[in-house]
Amino acid sequence: MTDKFAEAAGHGMGSAFVFALTAGLLTALTPCVYPMIPITISIFGGRGVSRRRSFGLATLYVAGIATMFGTLGTVFAMLGKAFGTYLASAWVVIPLAIFFLAMAASMFGAFELALPSALQQRLARVGGRGAGGVFLMGLVGGLIAAPCTGPPLAGILAFVATTRNAVGGFLLLATYAVGIGVPFWAIAGFSMQMPRSGPWMEAVKSVFGIALVVAALYYLKNVLPQLGHLTGHSAAFIGFAAGMIMLGLALGAVHLTFHDAVALRLRKGVGVALASLGLFGLTNYVLTPKRELAWMRGEAEALHAAREQKRPVVIDFMADWCLPCKEMDVQVFANPEVGDQLREFTLLRVDLTREDEDTSLGVVKAKYGVNTLPAVRIVSSTGQIVRRFDTVIDVPTFLGGLAEGLRAPASVAN
């Protein structure tokens, strides 16, 4: 699911928040959460409680869930540097991919992840009917949902860790929690009746399962570059990937179960494989720049060329695990107008994917004041830093920085 958030973020953080909200709502419709909604509502929205008060208490309950998840998002964002570095190691990536595949198997029904019913009901009653008690109920409410929040939550946290944005991490995870809270508001505020549990809940779990398979493939791409070759730049590739998804869905990737006859289980398995590969291919397509630039890789060589040609330099610090870096690649560097301006610059790309294995990279980072990713420096031909960008920016902002670089002195006055 990490890759799907990356794909959403590639269209702007607004899309990522919508994606988080949708993932939260789907989580609320899984067997770990859904049956507990009426029970929880009955505690603070029983008889004699006005609809207005019931809605207010439901809001406090959701605020408690959002606070818990948001805090978790902040912690993971602050630990992002270590997380990202580890994602370059096969010793970390392969177990992580296995974990995602195991979670996918649980979503497909290979084994059940659920808290004991008695413990679920006890946790649901933590706090009490008052405002403070209801907020406390929300804080521990995530434990009730834990078995089903695990798959999407793990994907979102992995994405947050690569962004290293503490505030964004809190807000994104809080948005996910708000999605979980939508049914609570619907019942408490509008007296809506929830549909009965049924096979449709298994379909929701299958959606999560497919997303987890795609996430496993995405992480494995860091240590198996061949997986990155499943991409393209043409509309034909989009059609091919979309066709795989549609065929997989038609075969039963979502609506069939692995608890049926052998033939149907095989059919669903093929459907899951096709849908997962199609989604993975689309993700690669979105994260693949549609325009390649001629980046130099050695700092000394690039600076020498810049001095000789009296051209300013654009230095892009990136890493394979850095999703915001890929967003910059796709949305900014591949922009035709930006590409035209970059012809006037010497281009240097510093790959920090395995910075722990190369001490010289730390020296280069310190020289240009790089503490986070993405990081872009616009440097004059004399080596003076003209502009610093330490977050994802839009095209007009970057073009403004390039204009400053072109105005910078091409030689040092003696």
pLDDT attached to residue 140: 64
Q: Whose structure tokens read 């051209």? A: 311
Count CA atoms within 13 Å of residue 22 on its CB side: 13
Structure tokens at 17: 């928040």
Structure tokens at 257: 């179960």
pLDDT attached to residue 414: 33
Q: Please enumerate, as own/partner, the contacts of 224-229 that have beta carbons within 8 Å and a separation of 24 or more.
A: 227/280, 228/284
**Structural contact between residues 279 and 8, judged by C-beta atoms closer than 8 angstroms:** no
**Structural contact between residues 412 and 324, judged by C-beta atoms closer than 8 angstroms:** no
222 closest CA partner among 318, 356, 325, 320: 320
Euclidean distance between CA atoms 146 and 32, whole angstroms: 8
Q: Cis link prior to 374 (omega < 30° from 0)? A: yes
CB atoms within 10 A of CB 137: 25
**Structural contact between residues 323 and 398, judged by C-beta atoms closer than 8 angstroms:** no
Q: Whose structure tokens read 């979105």? A: 286
Could you read off the pLDDT tens digit of each residue along the chain, which spans 414 residues?
444 555 555 455 666 778 788 888 877 776 556 656 665 666 555 555 667 777 777 788 888 888 888 887 787 777 665 555 566 667 777 887 887 788 788 778 776 555 455 545 554 454 445 566 677 777 666 555 555 555 566 667 767 776 667 787 888 888 888 888 888 777 776 655 555 556 666 787 788 788 878 878 887 887 788 888 888 878 899 999 999 999 999 999 998 888 888 899 899 999 999 999 999 999 888 878 878 898 998 999 999 999 999 999 999 999 887 777 888 898 899 999 999 999 999 999 999 887 777 888 889 999 999 887 889 999 998 889 999 998 888 899 999 999 999 988 765 433
Euclidean distance between CA atoms 234 and 345, whole angstroms: 29
Encoded amino acid at 153, one letter: L
**Structural contact between residues 131 and 279, judged by C-beta atoms closer than 8 angstroms:** no
